[in-house]
Amino acid sequence: MDTHADRQIPVHVRPEGVTDEGVKAAGVLSNALETVERARGALYDFHQLIGHADLMLDEVVELLRTSGNDELADQVEGELMGRNVVEGRWTFQLVEEFDENYWSFFRECEKVVRDRLAGGVPHLFEAEMKERRRTHGHRHHEARP
């Protein structure tokens, strides 16, 4: 059972020697990574949607054949079904190449910058913004759970 007491909540305290510029640079890069994560999700959506559409073509081919449209069924089956979405690649290959060549490197780079400029503290920029913007002493404005 997960309770608040069981969770490891990161301490979002600025380490000594960390500058405003460093916190901002790490924060903007972290925000960029979050945008890349969203793009990655859209890429996986694309991958699954294309895969689903391709599988639907089985039914299309069957319906065309049962309705006497063998020529059209042959065209869909031979030219569309299983077709590469880009030269030489299905969507799973796009996902794999994106993950290997871009997403994983972006994550590593963000961690290096965060470690060097923000003492490794995640979301330090946002944590400091929260502290500035919350109303101290008011319910639902607590610093931590």
In a domain, 35, yes or no: yes
- Structural domain including 28 reads 19-126
User: pLDDT digits over 70-98, tens only?
Assistant: 999 999 999 999 999 999 999 999 999 99
Is residue 113 situated within a structural domain?
A: yes
Distance of CA 16 to the CA centre of its chain: 32
Residue 138 lies inside a defined structural domain of this protein: no
- Chain segment 18-72, per-residue pLDDT in tens: 999 999 999 999 999 999 999 999 999 999 999 999 999 999 999 999 999 999 9
Q: Is residue 1 part of a domain?
A: no
In a domain, 109, yes or no: yes
In total, the chain counts a number of residues equal to 145
Nearest to 60 by CA among 84, 42, 79: 79
pTM value is 0.82
Residue 2 lies in a domain: no
Q: How many domains does the chain have?
A: 1
Residue 145 lies in a domain: no
Instruction: Give the position of tokens 């946002």.
Output: 126
Instruction: Determine, yes or no, domain membership for 140.
Output: no
CA distance linking residue 41 with residue 49, whole number of Å: 12
